[in-house]
Amino acid sequence: MKVVLTGGTGVLGRAAVRSLRAAGHDVAVVAHTSRSKGIAERLGVPAVPGDVLRPGTLAHAFEDADAVVNLASAMPVGLGLHVPGAWRRHDQLRTEGVRNVVEAARAVGCRRVVQESVSFLYADQGDEWITERAPLEITASTEPAAVGESLVQDFTCGSRTGVVLRFGRIVGDDPGTRHQLRAALHGRRIGLGHPSDWSHVVHTDDVGEAVVAALHAPSGVYNVGAEPVQRHDLAQGYADAAGVDTATFRTGPSRWWDGARHEPLTRSLRVCSDHFASQTGWRPLRPKFDVGWFDAVLPRQSLTP
């Protein structure tokens, strides 16, 4: 298939490009900066000019595409979370950006759109398993992702396929993981939510293969991730990788400082990805969280204070 990616030079995009090329697909990446063009060149794929926040630039980029994969996001990390307006671009990409992608795909006759989303749209379910039919809890923080999902669902019809991938928390070779490892090393509180609650996680190694699988998935929303992990085990994994005794959880004042944007990340989400597996045959290469998930990060990341 000819596959065009938006957000193809970010963490998820790079993983997707590598997997798509390995599977034999013809891949191109939409790029609007010289930096993005350079990353595309290093990935060995052509960069086509375009910007998801400038709708008139996308139709040409999507011409003759069999599928468009939208992985464009701009989630801030670390102290950047608290900078005024830090989330503005991220929210625009999940709303205006998705709308522009879907409309351009429709205009050129592209029959398949794959959209990245997040599993923390679900309401806290404690120890209960969460499938795609579980209730959502839409707040100001999660509304942009929900809007993006609805736009893809509106794209879907008898002749067009819309696939939404609700990924778990990304762990592996990415800025968020490196930030958490540094925080653990420096003794900062990194645990979110209650220690016995559940977290839905996915390793960066498994994102690309999920995108490949989505190219032949029926229209719908799919959970994508590894086996859920209890939060005390997740936090301890960061501590073990950083070489410290134990990880602590954020409480009281530190949770207030995190603000409303962190609330969805504290929900207990024991998410099941069996539906995606049954529809596509996808299985995670990293099916269960352990300290080995940090192997790709530690050799390249100095964790010394």
The answer to the question of residue 304 being in a domain is: no
- Per-residue pLDDT tens for 53-83? 998 999 999 999 999 999 998 877 766 666 6
The answer to the question of residue 302 being in a domain is: no
Q: pLDDT category, 260, cuts 50, 70, 90? A: confident
The answer to the question of residue 83 being in a domain is: yes
Give me the mean pLDDT over the 274-297 stretch: 95
The answer to the question of residue 100 being in a domain is: yes
Residue 305 pLDDT greater than 80, yes or no: no
Residue 302 pLDDT greater than 60, yes or no: no
Can you give the residue range of the structural domain that contains 111?
A: 2-294
Contacts of 60 (CB under 8 A, 6+ apart): 48, 49, 50
| CB contact burial 131-168 (16+ within 10 A = b; e otherwise) | ebebeebeeebbebbbbbbebbeebbeeebbbbbbbbb
Q: How many residues does the chain have?
A: 305
Which one of 74-83, 156-165, 295-304 scores highest in mean pLDDT?
A: 156-165
Q: CATH number of the domain at 197, please.
A: 3.40.50.720
- pLDDT given for residue 83 in this prediction: 67
Question: Which of 151, 137, 232 lies closest to 192, judged by CA?
Answer: 232
Distances (CA, A) of 144 to 18, 66, 98, 269: 28, 26, 10, 19
The answer to the question of residue 283 being in a domain is: yes
The answer to the question of residue 300 being in a domain is: no
The answer to the question of residue 104 being in a domain is: yes
10-14, 115-119, 187-191, 286-290: which range is least confident on average?
187-191
Residue 22 pLDDT greater than 70, yes or no: yes
Give me the mean pLDDT over the 242-256 stretch: 75
Residue 174 pLDDT greater than 60, yes or no: yes
Give me the mean pLDDT over the 199-213 stretch: 97
The answer to the question of residue 149 being in a domain is: yes
Residue 251 pLDDT greater than 80, yes or no: no
How many domains is the chain partitioned into structurally?
A: 1
- pTM of the full structure: 0.94
